[in-house]
């Protein structure tokens, strides 16, 4: 009985999220495309000098990259929506996966002078590897992106009395209390200008949230402005 109620609430929430999503997605795709179209229009006149040509091409390239990243995320989310991910369940060592993700993020951490540390213990979870990968990746990517130069990211993976746990803790800018729930909404960003500059689309945490739902996991957020953020996923 209790479980029934929970799943009905989740269904309603998913329907609501889907509606918001289609409205936002057109807007989010239109913005970079308008900019690409604008630069192309100027360039096709043939009156643009060599220097400007390089600058404009660079901007077109950046906006196009943004669109590709956005479409990739949308594809991931619609796959999660389809409930078709059931098939791919397997035993996944989360610690090993976390190590792999830390390596993949090493370059962007270095660029921002952020130090990433992994600790914990090998722990096996029966789940969808690709989705678990995206969850840990997005949490760590945020912890690096919304950090300060010289900041730290601590990633912990292991077994606890509460269950298998992933903890991502950063010394970054923090999330205002009244927005700590909203950041899991699709396209929601605390500081739109900062996110745009860092290339964010606001889909990362909704992928994390959907991934958690798929694995019947719980997400806990603890964050303080100017001090940092701690996110826990409990399976
Ligand atoms: N560790 C964090 N510290 C501070 N703010 C955060 C953190 N993680 C997320 N946020 C805030 O929550 C917003 C939503 O995060 P989310 O990962 O969904 O999107 P994004 O990082 O902007 O873009 P994307 O992940 O799609 O590239 C971010 O724009 C940022 O404002
Ligand atoms: Mg993100």
Single residue among 21, 54, 81 that ends a domain in this structure? 81
Q: Determine whether the shortest distance from the Cβ of 170 to ligand 1 is under 6 A.
A: yes
- 109 with 20, same domain: the answer is no
Q: Determine whether the shortest distance from the Cβ of 143 to ligand 1 is under 6 A.
A: yes
**Strands 115-120, 152-160: pairing kind:** parallel
- For residue 164, how far is its CA from the centre of ligand 1 (angstroms)? 24
Distance of alpha carbon 142 from alpha carbon 195, whole angstroms? 10
Q: Which two tokens stand for residue 8?
A: 């009905």
- 58 with 158, same domain: the answer is no
- 105 with 213, same domain: the answer is yes
- 112 with 211, same domain: the answer is yes
Q: How many domains does the chain have?
A: 2
**Residue 154: CB partners within 8 Å, gap ≥ 6?**
117, 119, 167, 168, 169, 170
Record the pTM: 0.81
Distance of alpha carbon 201 from alpha carbon 188, whole angstroms? 8
**Residue 140: CB partners within 8 Å, gap ≥ 6?**
101, 102, 105, 116, 153, 155, 168
- For residue 54, how far is its CA from the centre of ligand 1 (angstroms)? 31
Q: Determine whether the shortest distance from the Cβ of 187 to ligand 1 is under 6 A.
A: no
**Which regions of the chain does DSSP assign to beta strands (E)?**
89-93, 115-120, 124-128, 152-160, 163-170, 218-224, 228-234
Treating both helix axes as pointing N-terminal to C-terminal, what angle do 129-145 and 204-214 enclose, rounded to 10 degrees?
Answer: 140
3-class DSSP assignment, residue 118: strand
Single residue among 61, 81, 101 that ends a domain in this structure? 81
- For residue 205, how far is its CA from the centre of ligand 2 (angstroms)? 6
Instruction: Please give the number of the atom of ligand 1 that sits closest to the Cα of 168.
Output: 1
- 107 with 211, same domain: the answer is yes
- Position 165 scores a pLDDT of 98
Nearby residues for ligand 2 (ion, Cβ within 5 Å): 142, 204
DSSP 86: G
Single residue among 81, 110, 135 that ends a domain in this structure? 81
Q: Determine whether the shortest distance from the Cβ of 183 to ligand 1 is under 6 A.
A: yes
- Position 140 scores a pLDDT of 98
**Residue 162: CB partners within 8 Å, gap ≥ 6?**
234
Protein residue closest via CA to atom 25 of ligand 1? 204
CB 165 within 8 A of CB 156: yes
Protein residue closest via CA to atom 1 of ligand 1? 143
- Position 85 scores a pLDDT of 58
Each of the 235 residues of the chain gets a pLDDT tens digit; together they read: 444 444 455 667 667 666 666 767 777 788 889 999 999 999 998 889 999 999 999 999 999 998 898 888 888 888 777 765 566 789 999 999 999 999 999 999 999 999 999 999 999 999 989 889 999 999 999 999 999 999 999 999 999 999 999 999 999 999 999 999 999 988 888 987 665 556 677 889 998 998 899 899 999 999 999 999 999 999 9
Instruction: Please give the number of the atom of ligand 1 that sits closest to the Cα of 203.
Output: 26
Instruction: Please give the number of the atom of ligand 1 that sits closest to the Cα of 191.
Output: 31
Distance of alpha carbon 134 from alpha carbon 71, whole angstroms? 15
Domain containing 39 equals: 2-81
The CATH number covering residue 95 comes to 3.30.565.10
- 109 with 193, same domain: the answer is yes
Distance of alpha carbon 230 from alpha carbon 223, whole angstroms? 6
Using CA atoms, how far residue 54 sits from 12, 51, 141, 217, 232, in Å, is: 49, 5, 30, 47, 44
């Amino acid at each position: 009985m209790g479980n029934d109620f929970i799943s009905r609430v989740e269904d309603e929430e998913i329907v609501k999220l889907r509606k918001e999503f289609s409205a936002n997605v057109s807007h989010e795709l239109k913005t970079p495309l308008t900019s690409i179209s604008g630069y192309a229009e100027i360039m096709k006149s043939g009156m643009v000098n060599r220097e400007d040509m390089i600058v404009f091409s660079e901007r077109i390239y950046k906006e196009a990259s943004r669109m590709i990243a956005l479409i990739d995320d949308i594809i991931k989310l619609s796959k999660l929506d389809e409930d078709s991910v059931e098939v791919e369940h397997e035993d996944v060592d989360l610690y090993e996966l976390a190590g792999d993700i830390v390596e993949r993020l090493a370059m962007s951490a270095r660029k921002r002078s952020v130090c990433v540390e992994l600790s914990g213990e090998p722990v096996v979870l029966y789940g969808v590897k690709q989705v678990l990968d995206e969850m840990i990746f997005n949490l760590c990517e945020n912890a690096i992106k919304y950090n300060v130069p010289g900041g730290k990211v601590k990633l912990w993976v292991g077994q606890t009395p509460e269950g298998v746990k992933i903890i991502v803790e950063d010394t970054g800018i923090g999330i205002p209390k009244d927005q700590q729930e909203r950041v899991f909404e699709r396209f929601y960003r605390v500081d739109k200008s900062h996110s745009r500059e860092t290339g964010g689309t606001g889909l990362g945490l909704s992928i994390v949230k959907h991934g958690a739902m798929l694995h019947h996991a719980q997400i806990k957020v603890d964050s303080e402005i100017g001090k940092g953020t701690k996110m826990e996923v409990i399976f």
